[in-house]
Chain A
Amino acid sequence: MPALEVRGITKRFGKLTAVDAVSFGVEKGQITGFIGPNGAGKTTTMRIAATLELPDEGDVLLDGVSVLDDPRGARAKLGFMPDSYGAYPSTTLWEYLDFFARAYDLAGDVRRRRVEEVLEFTSLGPLREKEMSALSKGLKQRLCLAKTLLHDPSILILDEPAAGLDPRARVELRELVRALAGMGKAILVSSHILTELAEMCDGIVVIEAGQLKATGSVGDVTRGIQRAVPVYVRVLEGCDRLERALHELPGIERVRREGEGVVFEHAGTPESLSEVLSGLVLAGLHPIEFTPRAMGLEEVFLSLTEGKMQ
């Protein structure tokens, strides 16, 4: 059973259906990217999963606990990092974390130890006495993540955690998220920076205009939409001969010149692709580059979505 299971949730705001019968799951130790254009329903879905909104239909189970039937029980299993979170003025990092630790009913030494642990995990220990207003955006995001981890939730929902971060802060945040997945936490993370997600995620959920477009591992989703794989070939000499030879081989489509080589599309299995390479060698061509190009997350996203707004 997935740690986070979204079961056919629908949410309407007046006449607008923000989320329409969306279902997906996130396994333990897995990072799942939640992608979609602005207004696709990502934040609404995440807020429903975080018990902050109620679905009109469907349910979300967090480790088997329903957000509808037992929101309090669900919250104990969940760490939610909203896209915009607030700082309390005139409050130091330690006081901020201490407050939320108290709010999660952590008491005495357990509370102090937990605050120290999350400070250490997010490398914010040396800044504990610094006021929140003096923190950079990247440090604030790390602090918010630290707050999210205080009650040691098994499921994390991170809404746009990398928004507005510089490249270094983004890399640091990515490492933290990976470390958390390594601890067995199920993580659902939304972001517009798809290259960021591609490097981090095991699975993706694509949503547009409130409707689920695809869900699964990045490879599965890519294979599902990529009928033919583009392959780049460069030979030592004889680019014209290469082009002619490719036209004669079975399973090859759309051969075209690109730079010093040729790109063709192959719709067969990896074995048949290997046979194409053997055929080129047997034809007396000397391939020095033979690169199948898997679709990037951006291409997957663009081919799945139509840029619908609602």
Chain B
Amino acid sequence: MSARARSDRLNPVFVKELRQSLRGRTFAILFPGTVAIAVALAITVLVDSSGSANLGPQVFVPIFLVLSVAVLGLVPFSTFQSMSGEWDEGTQDLLVLSHLSPMRIVLGKLLTSAIEAGLYVCAFLPLLLFTFLLSGVDVRDVLFLVGSLYAASLGMSCVAMSLAGLSRSRFWRVILLAALAGIGFLAVLAAFGISESFVLRGRGLGSTYASDEVWAAISAILIVGSLTFAFAATRIAHPEDDRSGPVRITLSGLLVSFLAWLYLAPTSIVGVPSILQIVLFMTVLSGSFAVFFVTEPERLPRRTATRIPKNPVLAVLAAPYLPGGGRGVLWWFAQLAILGVWASLMQAERGWGTGGWSKWDRWGPDGIARFAAFTAYFVVYLAGFSLLMTRLRQRSYGPFAARLILPSLAVLSMVVPILIGFLIENRAWQNGQHALLPFWVAFQENQGATRGWAICVGVLVALANGPRLARSVQEVLVASEKRRASTVWCREVSAHVA
């Protein structure tokens, strides 16, 4: 394949952005500037600490810090500017009108960030590897830290794109830029902390200390990066396009990947997890994301309706991943089903929680009852409260307002009884031992009756949501049928014309 043909296959946004950024004044000044600062710092430390036994780490840390600032601060800043420029310069409409999908646009911008960060890494890597010659730094640690930093830079660029897409108002964009600076600062601090821990405290790859930090950092980068990437793509899409589906699919993908990893990884790596506690934690986490989905307007966006599978079975299966409040509830139920299946598989496969393990670990009748009671509260918060806000959600500001009100109501229902406990001097309520606190009901002993009541209320709320959920699936089926009918009509017209 010729170079020209290869160039044709490149993402157009990537080609354009790369030309722009490499020719832009910002990169032309900042790139040599940061390299010069790093070299100057390295020379200063070398001169100051000459003769020191542990010279490598002392030189490594400041250079790594400058690289962190460049790839976690400057590169995401440039990505933020590029994304917000699409709205400020009015080019977003032109992109929407072209054949570029939102995913390709965001991917193009991410690839540009990858090249920019790559250039910084290439410029800094010889300096960092040089510290190995000064002794005290392991090459594997250097490569691992630089690789992780590069991945973190991509994650930060995704965060920058999603923040830039949050608002079209310049005022809010300035606030969001400040937020990005704050996140960048924390990321640089974290990178500094990890690098210091690796090379100065000897907790590198060869040590036993590293694994937790490393896995936590890599997981955080992967989860935050993929979520914010999907979110950024939805923000650049047309408002009547599917702005919810990609995020729902990404979340489900992350959940399944995480659970599959726990299922497949050897116990020596994963340790012995408590099945019930993981399930409850994931219920809360998926419930937090579901707040955004259950508060969407019920109507299926018209442009989404034209892309629903024609096969009715596939259409029903796709329903939880299509926009709409009722379908948001279905999405959350689907996550609960995934969690239930995983827990049962884990119990059957590994037998964790049996013999010797506490009942908190078990996925038996007691564990399932605790899970059901705990879930019942979230059914009330998510399905119940969002059902009450049906009229509010239809207004233009409705989903935003509902996203503030719904979690506030959930928190208030847990906190108000505690405050009342202080008023009426009820010690148990003061300590959060009341029936509206799901954590207490799920974990406390001798709460079988309360758990029973909670499950009953949850079932009633779910039943009250029945018509809403049925309508949300019916809407998908109607759209699917319309698509089938239009295909048949087109075939008949073609046959007639022929």
Interface of B is mostly: helix
Which residue of A100, A104, A111 has the most chain B CB atoms within 10 A of its CB atom? A100
CB distance from A60 to the nearest CB of B (A): 13
With beta carbons under 8 angstroms apart, the residue of B12, B16, B89, B93 that contacts A52 is B93
**Which residues of chain B are within 8 angstroms of A84 by Cβ–Cβ distance?**
90
Chain B residues contacting A86 (CB-CB under 8 Å) are: 85-86, 88-91, 94
Q: Is the CB of A82 within 8 A of B90?
A: yes
Binds A, one of B19-27, B133-141, B207-215: B19-27
**A35-72, CB under 8 A of B: which get 1 and which 0?**
00000000000000011101000000000000011111
Against B, the Cβ 8 Å flags (1 = close, 0 = not) of A76-111 are 001010101111111100010011101111011001
Count of chain A residues with Cβ under 8 Å from any Cβ of B? 34
Q: Which residues in A have their C-beta under 8 angstroms from that of B306?
A: 68-71
A80 touches B8 (CB 8 A): no
Which single residue of chain A is at the shortest CB-CB distance from B96?
A52
| B302–A104 CB distance below 8 A | no
- Whether A111 and B8, one on each chain, are in contact in the complex, defined by CB atoms closer than 8 angstroms, is yes
Contacts of B97 in A (CB 8 A): 50-52, 75, 78, 80
Per-residue interface assignment for chain B, residues 431 to 461, with 1 indicating a CB less than 8 Å from any chain A CB and 0 otherwise? 0000000000000000000000000000000
- For A69, A75, A86, A147, the residue with the greatest tally of chain B CB atoms inside 10 Å of its CB is A86
B350 CB-CB contact with A under 8 Å: no
B265-304 CB mask vs A (1 if < 8 Å, else 0) is 0000000000000000000000000000000000000110
Q: Does B486 contact A (CB under 8 A)?
A: yes
Smallest CB gap from B90: residue in A: A86
Name the A residues within 8 Å of B25 (CB-CB).
90
Q: A82 to chain B: which residues have CB within 8 Å?
A: 90, 93-94
How distant is the Cα of A99 from the Cα of B8 in the complex, in angstroms? 11
B94 touching A85 by the CB < 8 A rule? Answer: yes
Indicate whether A88 sits within 8 Å of B91 (C-beta atoms), given known contacts A52-B238, A102-B12, A103-B100: yes
* A259 interfacial by beta-carbon distance below 8 Å: no
> Which of B5, B12, B99, B396 makes the CB contact (< 8 A) with A99?
B12
Per-position binary interface string of chain B over residues 369-398, scored 1 when its CB falls under 8 Å from any chain A CB and 0 otherwise: 000000000000000000000000000100
**A151 CA / B4 CA spacing, docked (Å):** 20
Main SS at interface, chain A: loop
Chain B residues within an 8 Å CB radius of A71: 303, 306
CB < 8 Å: which of A50, A80, A95, A103 contacts B95? A103
Contact between chains at A103 and B89 (CB < 8 Å)? no
Taking the complex as formed, is A14 at the interface, i.e. its CB lies under 8 A from any CB of chain B? yes
Closest to A85 in B: B90
Interface string of B60-96 (1 = CB under 8 A from A): 0000000000000000000000000110111101111
Instruction: Establish whether residues B89 and A87, one from each chain, have CB atoms under 8 Å apart when the complex forms.
Output: yes
Q: Are A104 and B24 in contact (CB under 8 A)?
A: no
Query: At the interface, yes or no: B98 with Cβ under 8 Å from chain A?
Result: yes
A147–B90 Cα gap in the complex (Å)? 14
* Contact count band on B: 20 to 34
**Residue B15 is within 8 A (CB to CB) of chain A in the complex:** yes
Q: Is the CB of A85 within 8 A of B91?
A: yes
Q: Assess the B90–A90 pair: CB atoms within 8 A.
A: no
Minimum CB–CB distance from A134 to chain B (whole Å) comes to 14
Chain A residues contacting B240 (CB-CB under 8 Å) are: 54
- B96-108 to A contact mask, C-beta < 8 Å, 1/0: 1111100000000
Indicate with 1 or 0, residue by residue over B454-498, a CB within 8 angstroms of chain A CB atoms: 000000000000000000000000000000001000000000000
* Smallest CB gap from A107: residue in B: B8
Q: Which residues of B contact A91 (CB under 8 A)?
A: 16, 19-20
Q: Is the CB of A95 within 8 A of B99?
A: no
Assembly CA distance A99 to B15 (angstroms) = 8
| Residues from 302 to 337 in B contacting A, C-beta threshold 8 Å | 302-303, 306
**B83 → chain A closest CB, angstroms:** 13
Contact with B along A144-185 (1 / 0, CB 8 A): 000100000000000000000000000000000000000000
Complex CA–CA separation, A71 to B303 (angstroms): 8
- Central interface residue in B15, B16, B25, B95, by most chain A CB within 10 Å: B16
- A98 contact set on B, CB distance < 8 A: 15
Q: Is the pair A100, B19 in contact by a Cβ cutoff of 8 Å?
A: no
On whether A95 and B16 interact (CB within 8 A), knowing A80-B97, A108-B4, the answer reads yes
B residues within 8 A CB of A107? 8
Taking a contact as CB atoms under 8 Å apart, the answer to whether B89 and A100 are in contact is no
B99 A105 Cβ-Cβ under 8 A: yes
Minimum CB distance partner of A74 in chain B: B97
CA distance A291 to B65 in the complex (A): 84
Q: Once bound together, how far apart are the Cα atoms of A1 and B96, in whole Å?
A: 28
Min Cβ gap B485→A in Å is 12
Q: How far is the CB of A194 from chain B (nearest CB, A)?
A: 26
- The complex places the Cα of A242 from the Cα of B445 at a distance, in Å, of 113
Chain A positions within 8 Å of B23 at CB level: 90
Residues of chain A within 8 A of B90, CB atoms compared: 82, 84-86
| A6–B199 CA distance with the chains assembled, in angstroms | 68
A88 touches B89 (CB 8 A): yes
Q: Are B93 and A102 in touch, CB under 8 angstroms? A: no
Q: Which of B214-252 contact A (CB under 8 A)?
A: 238, 240
B392–chain A nearest beta-carbon distance, Å: 15
Q: Is the CB of B5 within 8 A of A108?
A: yes
Contact A89 B24 (CB under 8 A): yes
A sample of 26 inter-chain contacts (CB < 8 A) reads A14-B396, A52-B96, A54-B302, A68-B302, A75-B97, A75-B98, A80-B93, A82-B90, A84-B90, A85-B90, A85-B91, A86-B86, A86-B88, A86-B91, A88-B20, A89-B24, A90-B19, A90-B24, A91-B19, A103-B98, A103-B100, A105-B99, A108-B5, A108-B8, A111-B8, A147-B94
Q: Other CB < 8 Å A-B pairs besides A14-B396, A68-B302, A90-B24, 7 of them?
A: A54-B303, A85-B90, A86-B85, A87-B89, A88-B91, A104-B98, A111-B8
Residues on B lying within 8 angstroms of A by beta carbon are 4-5, 8, 12-13, 15-16, 19-20, 23-25, 85-86, 88-91, 93-100, 238, 240, 302-303, 306, 396, 486
Chain A to chain B: the 5 pairs with minimum beta-carbon distance, closest first: A86-B89, A102-B12, A103-B98, A86-B91, A99-B16
